[in-house]
Each structure stands twice: as structure tokens, then as C-alpha cells.
């Protein structure tokens, strides 16, 4: 069991207070308008939240993976879309940190940590979601450059990203062992955004399709070694899945908070509905699920920092469990609010829509079961 120390608890309280004051009042409008909240990005930037995964030697503010998870949890408690600003900044940077040269880390670390550049993670393709070996994007070495062709889809913050960590085949005959990673800047000729997706939830986080047509990528922008891209991607997901779990815990906690408030205020048959056993037991079950998901998530985040050999296993466990909890708890919170819960005047339907994505991205929960069983049966 991982317990927060005083410094971590204080940090969480600071982010929670900021989220309550600045993020929560904007959450409904962000969802309705479907626009990226630049004002909140500036607040996160000023608080140093965009550099929580960047070590100090590269211009960041990293104090441990748990701090990133805490920040995302507390923001997601108010608005999942806004939490993705912090989450995706870490996701796009992580492959550079894991496999990149010192030059790449020193070049992009300060830009990512300061928020001067938004970064994205470019792995998924129309024909390559869970099956990375089906990747069509290719990069061919020509002198001191690679010529990159292909496309990426469902890329969080992709339409706005200044820098994208892109995965492409450099030797298709080797399958996943032929995948390499590159740092691509939006100014590179041949790069374009072909589509902004219209989504069920997280509408304030832009998701798009990115196209690369004969993009010339300097050889020095290769992340690590050729053929190691898939390894870097999987190691990145091991670190990012606890962050998605934290996002799930946050939205579940936010829905529970609002359900409790509603149940204490809503009067039926002469008394608040919280006094009816059917409602109070629902709330008790929801609370237990949230606490269990949080404990599992914090434990996984701690394993990331300790480089525990069970990190892949526990990261998949917490992501699967917490996202399922988020879906159950937000659905139950909406049920407690009844007809009002179904209305857009209340936050329950938005939180339920936002919760769903946590079961899908960073690896579907079906893939999480494969990862868990594979690790368990080694």
C-alpha cells in the first residue's frame, strides 16, 4: 500500500484548490464549445505542471511519477479534457526521455516543461491500433536524413502539437522490431493535419489525423536506435497507464462528490434521498470502488519510480480497474440524479461520456487483460 507523504498531500491539495477555482467553472463550457482551453493551459504552465515528467537537468520539475498522477487526478476531478493537457505533454515527451540522445533531451526538455511547445505521441494508425506490427508509416534513410511517409490517427492534442514523437517502420520485414521513433516538428515540410475528430467526450481535447508526405527528418532526430521504437513505445505506455488510471480516479471521484451533494439536497417522500438505503448503499459501493482504484494506481505510480520489474503488470492492472470503476461510478452517479442526471444542465452525463475514453486509449481494457495475463504467466 502506497501512502502519500506530507509534501505530496500538500501538492495534491494545491492542485485541487486550483482546479476547483479555475477549472470547474469552465468545464461545462469547454465541453459545449469543444475548444482547447488555452487559458487553463497557461495556468498549468505557470504552476509547472507541464514539466512534471521532465527531470531538472532537462529544464523540468520532476519529483516523481506520483506527482504527475496527482495533478492529472485532481484536474480530471473537475474536467477530463483539461487534465489531458498535462497528461499528453508527458506522453509525448516520455519516449524522448527513455531513448533519446542527450542532445534531444536538452533541446526539447525545456520547451516541453515550460509549455512553450505542445508535444504529442504519434503511434496509432487507421490500420494499426492494438496491432502495431500493421503500421504503414515508413521512414527511409537517405544520407543525413530520413524520408517519412504515412499517417497517424486519433492523436490527442495532435492538431495543436508543435512537436510529435512519431513511430514508423524502418524495416517492415522485422515487424515490431523494425519500428523506429522520430521527433517531428510541425514546421517540417510535408507535415499536415488532415482531420479534427468529432468525439463523444473529452471535447476540449483536440484529436486529429496527422499526415506525413515526404517529410525530411534529420537523422539526429531519430530517438535512440533504429528498430527500438516499439520498445520505447511500450515502456512509455507502462509509465502513462497509471496516469490514465489517475484520470479515471479523478472523474470517478468528481462524479461521486456531486452525487453525494445531490443526494443530500434532493428531497423525495419527505426526506433527502441520501437517507434511503437504496441510495446510501449505492454511494457506499461507489466510494469503495474509487478508494480501491486510487490505492492500486498510487502503487503502480510508485513502481514506475522504483523501476520495479512488475511495472508492466501493475500499470495494466490499475488502468483496467480504474477505468472500469470510472465508467461504473459515473453511470451510477447519473442514475442517482435520475432525470436531472440525463440533462446537460448537470455534469453527470458529461462525466460519463468523458469516463468512457479511459477504457479505450493507452491500450483498450481487452489489451490490458492480455498484458496482465502475459506478465502473470511468464
Nearest CA-CA partner of 72 in 154, 16, 5, 6: 16
Residues 81 and 201: their CA atoms lie apart, in Å, by: 8
Residues 63 and 17: their CA atoms lie apart, in Å, by: 20
Q: What share of the chain is helix, strand, coil (3-state, %, to 5)?
A: 60, 15, 25
Nearest CA-CA partner of 168 in 89, 240, 221, 119: 221
Residues 141 and 147: their CA atoms lie apart, in Å, by: 6
CB atoms within 10 A of CB 54: 27
Q: Are strands 222-223 and 179-185 parallel, antiparallel or unpaired?
A: antiparallel
Q: Is 362 a catalytic residue?
A: yes
Catalytic residue among 216, 265, 362, 375: 362
End-to-end, the C-alpha distance of the chain in Å comes to 24
Residues 83 and 294: their CA atoms lie apart, in Å, by: 17
Q: Which three cell numbers stand for residue 105?
A: 533531451
Question: Annotated catalytic sites, by residue?
Answer: 362
Amino acid at each position: 500500500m502506497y501512502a502519500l507523504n506530507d509534501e505530496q498531500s500538500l501538492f495534491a491539495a494545491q492542485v485541487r484548490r486550483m482546479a476547483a477555482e479555475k477549472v470547474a467553472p469552465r468545464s461545462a463550457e469547454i465541453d459545449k464549445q469543444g475548444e482547447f482551453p488555452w487559458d487553463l493551459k497557461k495556468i498549468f504552465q505557470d504552476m509547472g505542471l507541464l514539466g512534471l515528467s521532465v527531470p531538472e537537468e532537462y529544464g523540468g520539475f520532476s519529483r516523481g511519477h506520483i506527482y504527475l498522477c496527482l495533478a492529472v487526478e485532481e484536474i480530471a476531478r473537475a474536467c477530463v479534457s483539461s487534465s489531458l493537457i498535462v497528461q499528453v505533454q508527458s506522453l509525448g515527451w516520455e519516449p524522448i526521455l527513455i531513448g533519446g540522445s542527450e542532445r534531444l533531451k536538452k533541446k526539447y526538455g525545456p520547451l516541453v516543461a515550460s509549455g512553450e511547445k505542445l508535444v504529442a505521441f504519434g503511434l496509432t494508425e487507421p490500420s494499426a491500433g492494438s496491432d502495431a506490427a500493421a503500421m504503414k508509416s515508413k521512414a527511409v534513410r537517405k544520407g543525413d536524413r530520413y524520408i517519412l511517409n504515412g499517417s497517424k490517427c486519433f492523436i490527442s492534442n495532435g492538431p495543436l502539437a508543435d512537436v510529435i514523437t512519431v513511430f514508423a517502420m524502418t524495416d517492415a520485414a522485422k515487424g515490431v522490431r523494425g519500428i523506429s521513433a522520430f521527433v517531428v516538428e510541425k514546421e517540417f515540410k510535408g507535415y499536415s493535419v488532415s482531420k479534427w475528430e468529432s468525439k463523444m467526450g473529452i471535447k476540449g481535447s483536440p484529436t486529429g489525423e496527422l499526415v506525413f508526405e515526404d517529410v525530411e527528418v534529420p537523422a539526429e532526430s531519430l530517438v535512440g536506435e533504429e528498430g527500438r521504437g516499439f520498445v520505447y513505445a511500450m515502456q512509455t505506455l507502462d509509465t502513462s497507464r497509471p496516469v490514465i488510471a489517475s484520470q479515471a480516479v479523478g472523474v470517478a471521484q468528481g462524479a461521486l462528490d456531486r452525487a453525494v451533494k445531490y443526494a443530500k439536497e434532493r428531497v423525495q417522500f419527505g426526506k433527502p434521498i441520501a437517507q434511503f438505503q437504496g441510495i446510501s448503499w449505492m454511494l457506499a459501493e461507489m466510494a469503495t470502488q474509487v478508494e480501491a482504484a486510487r490505492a492500486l494506481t498510487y502503487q503502480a505510480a510508485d513502481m514506475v519510480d522504483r523501476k520495479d520489474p512488475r511495472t508492466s503488470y501493475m500499470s495494466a492492472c490499475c488502468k483496467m480497474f480504474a477505468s472500469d470503476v470510472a465508467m461504473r461510478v459515473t453511470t451510477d452517479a447519473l442514475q442517482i440524479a435520475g432525470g436531472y442526471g440525463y440533462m446537460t444542465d448537470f455534469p453527470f452525463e458529461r462525466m460519463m461520456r468523458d469516463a468512457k475514453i479511459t477504457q479505450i486509449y493507452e491500450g483498450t481494457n481487452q489489451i490490458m487483460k492480455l498484458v496482465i495475463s502475459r506478465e502473470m504467466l511468464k
